């Protein structure tokens, strides 16, 4: 897509030991910090990126967005979306069931990465990211959106009251598990939000993290690693 790049990792090709094997990219899950650093270098280099030019977030399931023009210093802020106009600067989002959302308007030269779990989707982190992009010159009809591997609506069981609360905010997220109990489909909710915002060029990964042993899943394994999604412009 004319200079925009999107990438999502699986769990293989890294150096972490069980239960984080192998390509754990999350630094706050109990894994050896040296292994995480090595994995981030391996992942970046496999994508042709400079590991020092990747911006990560301290994700907290909120809807705050930060504008960035380079990697953070020592303190990484608590945000769930980041936006940049710097070409060659990659934005990264960590997940292990939540929906990773990558956005790009190559014409305006703006990209964003957002972490949309159930709380973040309800709080509107993705619309907040799109608004931040438009403030920098992006146009919704030009924005390309890619969502990565995430727990699907057939697997994300929740109490009935929680499903009702989520559906009251985003009806498209109302779901039922494959075994017939209340569920939430976060990715469906995210795509419905994007559609209403005028973002029509969208693709959703078919991978359910809970079902796929090639991906980390917090709901399946609890103690596990983190996947990453990356977006950048040439």
pLDDT along the chain (234 residues), means of 10: 90 98 96 98 97 96 96 91 97 98 98 98 98 98 98 98 98 98 98 98 98 98 98 96
Strand partners, 228: 94
pLDDT at 1: 52
Non-local (6+) Cβ contacts of 30 within 8 A are 20, 223
Tokens of 135: 């403030």
SS3 81: strand
Q: Structural domains in the chain?
A: 4-233 (3.60.140.10)
Q: Angle 186-197/125-135 helices, nearest 10 degrees?
A: 30
Q: Supply the pTM of this predicted model.
A: 0.97
pLDDT at 75: 87
| 201 class by beta-carbon count within 10 Å (0-12 exposed, 13-18 middle, 19+ buried) | middle
């Amino acid at each position: 897509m004319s200079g925009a790049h999107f990438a999502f990792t699986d769990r293989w090709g890294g150096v972490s030991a069980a239960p984080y094997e192998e390509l754990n990219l999350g630094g706050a899950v109990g894994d050896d910090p040296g292994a995480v650093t090595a994995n981030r270098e391996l992942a970046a280099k496999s994508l042709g990126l400079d590991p020092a030019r990747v911006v990560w977030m301290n994700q907290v399931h909120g809807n705050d967005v930060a504008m960035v023009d380079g990697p953070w210093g020592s303190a990484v802020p608590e945000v769930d979306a980041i936006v940049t106009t710097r070409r060659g600067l990659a934005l990264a989002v960590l997940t292990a069931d939540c929906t990773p959302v990558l956005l790009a308007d190559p014409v305006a030269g703006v990209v964003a990465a957002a972490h949309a779990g159930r709380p973040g989707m309800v709080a509107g982190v993705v619309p907040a990211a799109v608004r931040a992009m438009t403030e920098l010159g992006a146009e919704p009809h030009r924005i390309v959106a890619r969502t990565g591997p995430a727990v699907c609506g057939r697997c994300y069981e929740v109490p009935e009251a929680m499903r009702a609360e989520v559906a009251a905010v985003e009806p498209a997220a109302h779901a039922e598990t494959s075994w017939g109990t209340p569920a939430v489909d976060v990715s469906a909710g995210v795509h419905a939000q994007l559609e209403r915002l005028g973002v029509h060029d969208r693709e959703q990964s078919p991978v359910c993290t809970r079902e796929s042993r090639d991906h980390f899943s917090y709901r399946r394994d609890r103690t596990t690693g983190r996947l990453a999604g990356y977006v950048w412009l040439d």
